[in-house]
A and B are shown apart, each in its own frame.
Chain A
Amino acid sequence: DTGVSQNPRHKITKRGQNVTFRCDPISEHNRLYWYRQTLGQGPEFLTYFQNEAQLEKSRLLSDRFSAERPKGSFSTLEIQRTEQGDSAMYLCASSSDMIEAFFGQGTRLTVV
């Protein structure tokens, strides 16, 4: 399968714990995006990489959130000291032309 892959698909964690999600983009895509989506809402932009460089971070990305793309391929999104408000679907997308973004199926996070 050459689509965008996200792991895990589901994560349940206790408040205060740290979680890390992984995204494997389409291999030839140099752009990688992270979004957060809650029920009934559109995806909210979190951050964006071009190759290994993190070019922009949303104000939504508090200091508890960090994202990396160390070799310009896969990316990780870490949330430290999770809060119940972090419960959402976390979507990753990759793109080669900044117009057509290909999304993964997301990681659904539930903080209890």
Chain B
Amino acid sequence: GESVGLHLPTLSVQEGDNSIINCAYSNSASDYFIWYKQESGKGPQFIIDIRSNMDKRQGQRVTVLLNKTVKHLSLQIAATQPGDSAVYFCAEIYYGGSQGNLIFGKGTKLSVKP
């Protein structure tokens, strides 16, 4: 069935290093892929999205890469800061038959060591 999952449940990095968070997806027909950040006690917060016909998109300190051949999505965070500590979810949207549901994976917890 359709699902979005993550390779690593936890990731620990040193402040100032770059972080890479990975995600595998199974629905090759998804139209958009999105990364959300969720801090403790808060709802998810949109970070960046990428359309399915793109392979790279850059934002402020973040880059999302999409490899449709292997159904893989990654989020790269440059110069990771303590404020980046959170759980990161990838999500996908498929417009085909479901009116555009936003389907989430299980999340990766990023811990930034000072």
Contact = CB atoms under 8 A, between A and B. Distances in A.
Contact of A56 (B4, B34, B101, B105): B101
A26 to B, nearest CB: 13
A55 B93 CA distance: 15
Listed residue (B42, B101, B103) with the most chain A CB atoms within 10 angstroms of its CB? B101
Interface in A82-105: 91, 93, 98-105
A106 B43 CA distance: 6
Contacts of B41: 105
Contacts of B4: 42
Contacts of B103: 45
Given A45-B101, A50-B99, A102 B106 contact: no
A112 B41 CA distance: 21
Contacts, number: 57
B25 interface: no
Interface of A: 4, 33, 35, 40-45, 48, 50, 55-56, 91, 93, 98-106
30 contacts: A4-B43, A41-B106, A42-B4, A42-B91, A42-B106, A42-B107, A43-B44, A43-B104, A44-B104, A45-B103, A45-B104, A48-B99, A48-B100, A50-B99, A55-B99, A56-B98, A56-B99, A91-B43, A93-B44, A93-B102, A98-B93, A98-B95, A98-B100, A99-B34, A99-B49, A100-B34, A100-B46, A102-B46, A103-B44, A105-B41
Given A44-B104, A56-B99, 5 more contacts: A42-B105, A42-B107, A43-B104, A50-B99, A55-B99
